[in-house]
Amino acid sequence: MTEMVYGTMPIRAGEPVLPRWWRTVDKWTMTCVFILYGIGLLLGLAASVPLATRNGLPPFHYVDRQAVFGAVSLVVMMLTSMLNPNMVRRMGVVGFLAAFVALALLPAFGSDFGKGAVRWFSFGFATVQPSEFLKPGFVILTAWLMAASQEINGPPGKSVSFAITIVVVAFLAMQPDFGQSALILFSWGVMYFVAGAPILLLMTVCVMVATGGMAAYTYSDHFAKRIDGFLASDVDPRTQIGYATHAIQEGGFFGVGVGEGQVKWSLPDAHTDFIIAVAAEEYGLILVLVILALYATIVVRSLVRLMRERDPFIRLAGTGLACIFGIQAVVNMGVAVRLLPAKGMTLPFVSYGGSSIIAAGITMGMLLAFTRTRPQGEIGDIFGRRGRG
């Protein structure tokens, strides 16, 4: 009876962990991640040298650090992808609680490094941004609550997840970090939609977001300045957006040549938030399209594999992780081409940043764990047998 309902998949008794992992993991997605990391190192060789020169450091100081952070990230990704969904869930919940406590302690012990937003803990040899690690844990926790609410006599998980979202967004907005707040709201909205949210509630959330945006514009000079700059008809060539726009225009289809770009000498965030401008100037539209294709492949392949998944928690959590990963890349590149207001947000696996790349490794590791082929059959098995019956 169990086989008739759930379907079967050959199980290799006593199969070691590594061969089983290699047989079931999504190799295309993993390959795309490795290529993105390689592109990040390539761009870092150009973008981070001017910063190292200005800071009196060896030319490839930041490239070396990025290589180390990236290696740690990839190892974490592969180890996490070997876990089963229950272990990933426990890891995500514990990680969320730890990151949320760290986020709450930022006002007392954090640093803004002169950027006007207290988002980092400084340990001298390294800095940590709790909000980066909060995102994957938040997705896991809220997906678990939403999935539990679908069970008979289950808890009011959707309402609890909404309350948690509001609290997290409030803490992020106090830094202020409106970009990460938007990512949190977006991921929650996507998962809630997949879980079967009533349209009235989604409209209510949209109204709340619009109201919050207007309040931020009214009471936050930092937020208002960025919105005004985005809406202005002319771009100040001395701003980061102005430098990035000029670099993209100069790059054209094939770029000005390796190491020949000039924007990296003018942009203070050329190695982080505006790394795509360096790519566009030196390698042209061709490399930008390759980067876009890699992110699209990761997101689309993950969503397609999740569509065949029957476990509500895995579907919701995987969807949230894939979408928050993809939308962060979209926001980063959208800012560089002035499709979105300026927002400090890294390009996953490509931009420089320890917290960013390690958190991205955790996110992709969880996603790979959820999209692995497991011996449980797919949702299509049920409908196929019913149709034949």
Q: What pTM was computed for the model?
A: 0.87
For residues 206-240, one letter each, b for 16 or more C-beta atoms within 10 angstroms of the residue's C-beta and e for the rest, the string is eeebeebeeebeeeeeebeebeebbeeeebeeeeb
To the nearest 10°, report the CA torsion of 314, 306, 376, 79. -60
Size of the chain in residues: 389
CA 60 to chain centre: 26
Question: pLDDT by residue (tens digit) across 294-303?
Answer: 999 999 999 9
pLDDT score recorded for residue 183: 92
8 part of a folded domain: no
Distance between CA atoms of 61 and 240, rounded to whole angstroms? 23
Residue 386 within a domain: no
Residue 86 in domain: yes
In 3D, which of 235, 225, 335, 271 has the Cα closest to residue 47? Answer: 271
Q: What is the pLDDT of residue 353?
A: 86
Q: Which long-range contacts link 8-17 to residues 24+ away (Cβ below 8 Å)? A: 8/375, 8/377, 9/373, 9/374, 9/375, 9/376, 9/377, 10/375, 11/375, 17/82
For residue 379, is it within any domain? no
Q: Which domain holds residue 295?
A: 16-373
163 falls within a domain? yes
| Beta partners for residue 120, in sequence order | 111
pLDDT score, position 77:
96
User: How high is the pLDDT of residue 116?
Assistant: 66
In a domain, 3, yes or no: no
In a domain, 380, yes or no: no
pLDDT in tens, 130-167: 999 999 999 999 999 999 988 888 888 888 999 999 99
Where the chain has pLDDT below 50, the residues are 1-10, 377-383, 385-387, 389
Q: Structurally, how many domains does the chain consist of?
A: 1
Is 350 domain-assigned? yes
What's the confidence (pLDDT) of residue 259?
75
